[in-house]
């Protein structure tokens, strides 16, 4: 029996991937758990393992192929594997409990032959309906399989939907209709009418006066997700200045005392710890908006922005409130290094409850970041610098750092965001409190 292996969806945002390398060739016998290929996504390069056993009959996509759509057949497997295991899966990345906890589709690789389109079917027969009729039916919770079309060859058209709306409906229909309307008022409905795009020439840029660099998968994903977040999330910034002289002194003493043991704490490490403790001190701020309610997270899982060639990625410090500064420093160094090498596993950068973006090392004084959904807030950390301040009614010089949090107003309002920042500042200005 022959089974098709398809391009797996290795993350919720993945729409296409690059087939970086084959680890098998035609005629090779494979078994469950064997690495068969490396797939490059917008965030990382991951190994894909086989689930079924059999013999590679044909490699449908060559090594090095770019922009292969998810669910596109990439190879054919000949053997008894499909009969022994359910055909819903063919290969998957290495399993992870973290990925399975809260990320639907994280790391799941499809192994079934893709079906042609989302057309509703009944009894194995396709329902013929116009695109407008399908959209109206979806909006109003109408089951197309129960309608008889009045269009050519029995095609369901707009007037059939309108007639169905006027007919008596079962009691449960309004509920289904409401759910359908809720779905179609989100991004899916908005994406049906994309904004008009104009070329640079139409905007006055002379042809031939620039070089066009093609968008890679990471840049496409960043553009899509940041546009959606900035457009769809009602956000606002809150900014404070924090005196960090005590923080810098404590950091210096820690590194001096424990440096021989390989400990090298950064300001960013201390900000991660302080943010995690502040989230636990103000638990209402450690939240995410969902259509069904506000999710109150049990741990402060801090996603930290790391710049890599072509964009950025946010590896996650899981349960940061439970870790000491030395552990945070070591884990963050490892995550950042593997992020730059595109060797992070999906569960290491998918999820989280809060984001931190630090551009202080680049000399940026202050900035505001775009919310990284589904996080309720993202913190932007600027450079520490000597500034004149008023202390005890007298002019003084202190090292100040400007911090901004961008808040999702659906879960974190102004007072709640201010309470979080107050707690965060208290830990930075009195770093000994982080040791309690």
CB count in 10 Å sphere of residue 138: 18
User: Which of the pair, 125 or 254, is modelled with greater confidence?
Assistant: 254
Per-residue pLDDT at 168: 58
Question: In the predicted model, is pLDDT for residue 225 greater than 50?
Answer: yes
Mean pLDDT over residues 65-74, rounded? 90
Residues 182, 155 contacting (CB under 8 angstroms): no
In this predicted model, what pLDDT tens digit does every residue of 152-196 receive, in sequence order?
A: 667 788 788 888 887 755 444 444 444 444 444 444 444 444 445
Look-up of token digits 């701020």: 285
Look-up of token digits 């801090």: 302
Mean pLDDT over residues 357-376, rounded? 96
What 18-21 contacts at long range (C-beta under 8 Å, 24+ apart), as own/partner pairs, is: 18/64, 18/65, 18/66, 18/67, 18/68, 18/217, 19/61, 19/62, 19/63, 19/64, 19/65, 19/68, 19/74, 20/45, 20/63, 20/64, 21/63
Task: Measure CA 183 to chain center.
Answer: 20
Q: What percent of the chain has pLDDT over 70?
A: 81
Mean pLDDT over residues 15-19, rounded? 88
Mean pLDDT over residues 31-55, rounded? 85
Domains and CATH numbers, the chain: 2-102 (2.40.50.100), 121-190 (4.10.320.10), 233-435 (3.30.559.10)
In this predicted model, what pLDDT tens digit does every residue of 193-213 receive, in sequence order?
A: 444 567 888 889 998 999 998
Question: In the predicted model, is pLDDT for residue 42 greater than 90?
Answer: no
- Of 148, 297, 299, 409, the active-site residue reads 409
Per-residue pLDDT at 104: 32
Per-residue pLDDT at 130: 75
Residues 61, 68 contacting (CB under 8 angstroms): yes
Highest mean pLDDT among 63-77, 193-207, 413-427: 413-427
Compute the chain's Rg from CA coordinates: 27
Question: In the predicted model, is pLDDT for residue 364 greater than 90?
Answer: yes
**H helices within 172-266, ranges in order?**
173-184, 187-190, 217-232, 245-258
Q: How far apart are CA 44 and CA 46, in angstroms?
A: 6
Q: How far apart are CA 106 and CA 61, in angstroms?
A: 23
Mean pLDDT over residues 405-424, rounded? 98
Confidence at 140, pLDDT banded by 50, 70, 90: confident
Per-residue pLDDT at 126: 63
Q: For the chain, what is the mean pLDDT?
A: 82
- Ramachandran sector of residue 6 (left: φ over 0; alpha: ψ -120 to 50; beta: rest): beta
Is 375 labeled as catalytic in the residue annotation? no
- Give SS3 for 379: strand
Q: How far apart are CA 209 and CA 114, in angstroms?
A: 43
């Amino acid at each position: 029996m022959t089974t098709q292996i398809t391009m797996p969806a290795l993350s919720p945002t993945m729409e296409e991937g690059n087939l970086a390398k084959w680890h098998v060739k035609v005629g090779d016998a494979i078994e469950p758990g064997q690495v068969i290929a490396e797939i490059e996504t917008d965030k990382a390069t991951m190994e894909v393992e086989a689930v079924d056993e059999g013999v590679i009959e044909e490699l449908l996509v060559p090594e090095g192929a770019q922009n292969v759509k998810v669910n596109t057949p990439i190879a054919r497997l000949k053997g008894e594997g499909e009969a022994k295991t359910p055909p819903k899966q063919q290969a998957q990345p290495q399993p992870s409990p973290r990925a399975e906890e809260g990320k639907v589709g994280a790391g799941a690789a499809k192994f079934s032959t893709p079906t042609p389109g989302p057309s509703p079917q009944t009894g194995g027969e396709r329902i013929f309906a116009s695109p407008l009729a399908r959209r109206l039916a979806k909006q109003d919770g109408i089951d197309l399989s129960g309608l008889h079309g009045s269009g050519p060859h029995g095609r369901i058209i707009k007037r059939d939907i309108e007639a169905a709306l006027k007919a008596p409906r079962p009691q449960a229909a309004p509920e289904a209709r409401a759910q359908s309307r809720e779905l179609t008022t989100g991004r899916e409905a908005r994406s049906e009418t994309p904004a008009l795009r104009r070329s640079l020439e139409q905007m006055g840029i002379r042809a031939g006066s620039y070089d066009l660099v093609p968008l890679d998968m990471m840049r496409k994903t960043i553009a899509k997700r940041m546009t959606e977040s900035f457009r769809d999330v009602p956000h606002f910034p809150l900014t404070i200045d924090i005196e960090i002289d005590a923080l810098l002194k404590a950091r210096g003493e820690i590194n001096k005392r424990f440096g021989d043991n390989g400990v090298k704490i950064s300001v960013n490490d201390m900000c991660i710890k302080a943010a995690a403790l502040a989230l636990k001190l103000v638990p209402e701020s450690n939240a995410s908006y969902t259509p069904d309610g506000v999710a109150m997270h049990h741990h402060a899982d801090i996603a930290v922005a790391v710049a890599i060639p072509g964009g950025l990625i946010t590896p996650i410090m899981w349960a940061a409130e439970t870790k000491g500064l030395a552990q945070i420093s070591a884990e963050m160094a490892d995550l950042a290094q593997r992020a730059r090498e595109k060797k992070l596993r999906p569960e290491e950068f998918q999820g989280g409850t809060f984001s931190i973006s630090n551009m202080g090392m680049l000399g940026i004084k202050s900035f505001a970041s775009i919310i990284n959904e589904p996080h309720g807030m993202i913190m932007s950390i600027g450079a520490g610098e000597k500034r004149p301040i008023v202390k005890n009614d007298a002019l003084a010089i202190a090292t100040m750092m400007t911090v901004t949090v961008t808040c999702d107003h659906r879960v974190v309002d102004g007072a709640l965001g201010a309470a979080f920042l107050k707690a965060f500042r208290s830990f930075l200005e009195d770093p000994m409190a982080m040791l309690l």
